[in-house]
Structure 1
Amino acid sequence: MDAILPRMMEAAGVTEELKARDPMRWVGLMNTPKAQAEEVLFQELIYI
């Protein structure tokens, strides 16, 4: 999770600057990469 999430956040444009400027938008954008990273982990660790 620690390796995947930062790359997904960068690709989605989720930055610390955005977090400081517009926290609600940051939370909304953060939910997608987090869910995607969790799904990748579930696929690799549980379902394989």
Structure 2
Amino acid sequence: MGAEKVTVQNLEIVKIDAENNLIAVKGAIPGPKNGIVTIVDCVKKA
């Protein structure tokens, strides 16, 4: 259990609050509350 890597595509970043180090994302993020999330910009190859 745990330590599974899950990739979710096409989520929209709604707001970035640099003062409080927060990023608001539109959509569901898998994993537990207070878990670590990695956000990367990518282009899906055809």
TM-score by length of structure 2 reads 0.23
TM-score by length of structure 1 reads 0.23
Determine which structure has the larger strand proportion and give its number: 2
User: Of the two structures, which has the highest relative contact order with CA contacts closer than 8 Å and spacing of 6 or more?
Assistant: 1
